[in-house]
Amino acid sequence: MLARDDQESLKNTPLHGLHVSLGGKMVPFAGYDMPVQYPAGVLKEHLHTRSQAGLFDVSHMGQLALRPKSGRIEDAARALERLVPQDIVAVARGRQRYAQFTNSVGGILDDLMVANFGDHLFLVVNAACKAEDEAHLRANLADDCVIDSLVDRALIALQGPKAESVLTKLCAEAPGMKFMDAGPHKVAGIDCFVSRSGYTGEDGFEISVPAADAERLAKTLLDNPEVMPIGLGARDSLRLEAGLCLYGHDIDTATTPVEAALEWSVQKSRRRGGARAGGFPGAEKILAHFDNGASRRRVGLRPDGRAPVREGALLFADATAGEPIGKVTSGGFGPSLNAPVAMGYVPTSQSALDTKLFAEVRGQRLPLTIAAMPFVKNTYKR
Amino acid sequence: MTTTLYTSDHEWLAIDGDVATVGITDYAQSQLGDVVFVELPKLGRTLKKAEPAAVVESVKAASDVYAPVSGEVLETNPELASEPALVNSDAQGKAWFFKIKMADKSELGGLMDEAAYKAHTA
């Protein structure tokens, strides 16, 4: 939580007035005054997103354009590859990829989305990291790219099984997009950047819209009876059920992509023996983790009982004695499962599915089981 | 005849002789949001005033419920285990948490009546 002094300097997104008029319960989050829930409440908002469609204001996130000074998109991609362990060159025009900025010891400075818009790369980064990310890009890529912080844009996510039919009314190209397609499209006549992606495990879209048009677009989407406004509370429970990492909690400057079980996000071309192996910060450590494994690993956890096991709970191999073997990094209640869910780090030697562990909650050891993620099957349109 | 008193931590106590039935107020449940789990004190436990006695978990967070008075836990509400959402639907009725045999009724002196509690939450 922020101190009282800081609350006065909280920033508002372009949809702030709309949140207040919809009865949003506003809380400080990453320097912004954001809705944690609306009158429907976290549980209904979560379940509505899984059964119909939810609208999320994620305008607090950072949006950046990397424009190659040479005019060749491949030069921007090659430049960005100096900061991330992903294959950016292979991201085709109109496609998007999940990436991480790594540090010199292989930890994660932030996670982000990178899209190829033909003449530039479009990046979406976390709100809490966006100033550092921009400085990092300027410090490292300024010779090759013009770095534009797109501060005059809002970002709206529309997620859930009805997202496609709702968006199709405003954007005829929407149904033709596949998971992780991304590009400029007109939505309700407004010039937007639309990607078919999100942070809920559901099919859906993220729409970058000029700030001046954001409220009109949000209201137009909310005019559909299928669409309900969703706060940060349900955003967190949805992403947790989807097994997706929350930066600063499940991944941070001390976790490598291998420890975080994000190997799938590091393409072969950047691994040992690949066409552009290494060449990103912390490559030595991260490639060693690929070669030899890491000593700990992020896993999904299902408490056996009803009590939620939350962030910070220590994990133990048995019910009574012993030193902790790990820690919960995210945990709460999964409304779609009607059960508690969590994720955390354990020694790789004790990370097999179905391993029984214990979490200490209020002095008691509660049994839990290592489980596959996502906890709720994702419904991406591949 | 029972009297209902309130704490500044948003618990209610229905007093019947030297037994108090304790729950959280409707205002408290509205602030917590959807309740998904309630942890109740063990039967027979002796509680000291102001120590954590129960925990209410919403989707978002866990909140302590403090013992509003000292005494021995006589009974806990079995319905809350299977239906924690009762706390949202009937906080000051069916969703009572526990009954406590008060050790020192003078501890009730600092508590609020309904009018005072309403002013407190206004």
Please tell me if residue A340 touches chain B, with a CB cutoff of 8 Å: yes
Mean pLDDT in residue range B81-88: 96
Chain A CB contacts of B61 under 8 Å are 310
Are the beta carbons of A307 and B33 separated by less than 8 Å?
no
Q: How many domains does chain A have?
A: 3
Long-range contacts of A125-130 (CB under 8 A, 24+ apart): A125/A61, A125/A62, A125/A64, A126/A30, A126/A61, A126/A62, A126/A247, A126/A248, A127/A29, A127/A30, A127/A31, A127/A32, A127/A60, A127/A61, A127/A62, A128/A30, A128/A31, A128/A247, A128/A248, A129/A62, A129/A247, A130/A61, A130/A62
Chain A CB contacts of B55 under 8 Å are 362
Give A247 or B122, the one with higher predicted confidence: A247
Tell me: do A221 and A303 sit in the same domain: no
Tell me: do A308 and A327 sit in the same domain: yes
Amino acid letter at B96? W
pLDDT in tens, A350-380: 999 999 999 999 999 999 999 999 999 999 9
Residue A4: pLDDT over 50: no
Q: Is residue A224 part of a domain?
A: yes
Which helix (H) or strand (E) segment is A5 a member of?
A: helix A4-7
Q: Tell me the C-alpha distance between A158 and A161, whole Å.
A: 10
Tell me: do A183 and A324 sit in the same domain: no
pLDDT in tens, A127-153: 999 999 999 999 999 999 999 999 999
Q: Is residue A247 part of a domain?
A: no
Q: Is residue A158 part of a domain?
A: yes
A190 in Cβ contact with A207 (< 8 Å): no
Name the domain boundary from A206, A241, A276.
A241
Name the domain boundary from A147, A162, A183.
A147
Mean pLDDT in residue range A223-245: 98
Q: Is residue A380 part of a domain?
A: no
Q: Is residue A249 part of a domain?
A: no
Q: A306, A336, A362: which to substitute to probe chain B, counting the most B Cβ within 10 Å?
A: A306
Peptide bond into A374 cis (omega under 30): yes
Residue B1: pLDDT over 80: no
Residue A111: pLDDT over 50: yes
CATH of the domain at A164: 3.30.1360.120
Confidence of residue B60 (pLDDT cuts 50, 70, 90): confident
Name the domain boundary from A95, A126, A147.
A147
Residue A8: pLDDT over 70: no
Q: Average pLDDT of chain B?
A: 96
Tell me: do A31 and A161 sit in the same domain: yes
Query: How much is the CA Rg of chain B, to the nearest whole Å?
Result: 13
Helices (H) and strands (E) in chain B, counts: 4, 9
Tell me: do A220 and A159 sit in the same domain: yes
Domain that holds residue A90: 62-147
A113 in Cβ contact with A97 (< 8 Å): yes
Chain B CB contacts of A1 under 8 Å are none
Residue A3: pLDDT over 50: no
In the numeric block, the tokens 């959807």 are attached to: B34
Are the beta carbons of B59 and A233 separated by less than 8 Å?
yes
CATH of the domain at A122: 3.30.70.1400
Tell me: do A168 and A234 sit in the same domain: yes
Residues 6 or more apart in contact with residue A265 via CB below 8 angstroms: A86, A98, A99, A100, A257
Tell me: do A270 and A357 sit in the same domain: yes
In chain B, whose CA is at the least distance from the CA of A339? Answer: B36
pLDDT in tens, A85-104: 999 999 999 999 999 999 99
The predicted model scores a pTM of 0.95
Q: What is the DSSP letter of A173?
A: T
Distance from CA of B46 to the nearest CA of A (A): 17
Chain A CB contacts of B37 under 8 Å are 306-308, 333, 340
Report phi then psi at B109, rounded to 5.
-55, -35
Are the beta carbons of A41 and B34 separated by less than 8 Å?
yes
Mean pLDDT in residue range A68-88: 98
Q: Tell me the C-alpha distance between A138 and A372, whole Å.
A: 39
Mean pLDDT in residue range A275-295: 98
In the numeric block, the tokens 């912004």 are attached to: A32
Q: Average pLDDT of chain A?
A: 97
Please tell me if residue B83 touches chain A, with a CB cutoff of 8 Å: no
Chain B CB contacts of A340 under 8 Å are 36-37
Q: Tell me the C-alpha distance between B69 and A1, whole Å.
A: 31
Q: Is residue A55 part of a domain?
A: yes
Quote the tokens at residue A261.
């079980």
Q: What is the DSSP letter of A334?
A: E
Tell me: do A55 and A71 sit in the same domain: no
Q: Is residue A137 part of a domain?
A: yes
pLDDT score, position A7: 54
Question: Of A36, A43, A306, which has the smallest distance from its Cβ to B34's Cβ?
Answer: A43
Tell me: do A188 and A278 sit in the same domain: no
pLDDT in tens, A183-196: 999 999 999 999 99
A positions 351-370 inside 8 Å of B (CB): 362
Mean pLDDT in residue range A99-118: 98
pLDDT score, position A1: 38
Residue A44: pLDDT over 90: yes
Tell me: do A38 and A183 sit in the same domain: yes
3-state secondary structure of A220: helix
CATH of the domain at A351: 2.40.30.110
Q: What is the DSSP letter of A305?
A: S
Helix axes A130-141, A73-80, angle to 10 degrees: 110
pLDDT in tens, A283-292: 999 999 999 9
Residue A75: pLDDT over 60: yes
Least confident of A7-11, A46-50, B48-52: A7-11
Tell me: do A167 and A128 sit in the same domain: no
Are the beta carbons of B60 and A308 separated by less than 8 Å?
no
Tell me: do A269 and A354 sit in the same domain: yes
Q: What is the DSSP letter of A379?
A: -
Q: Is residue A258 part of a domain?
A: no
Q: B36, B51, B58, B87: which to substitute to probe chain A, counting the most A Cβ within 10 Å?
A: B36
Residue A179: pLDDT over 60: yes
Q: B59, B82, B83: which to substitute to probe chain A, counting the most A Cβ within 10 Å?
A: B59
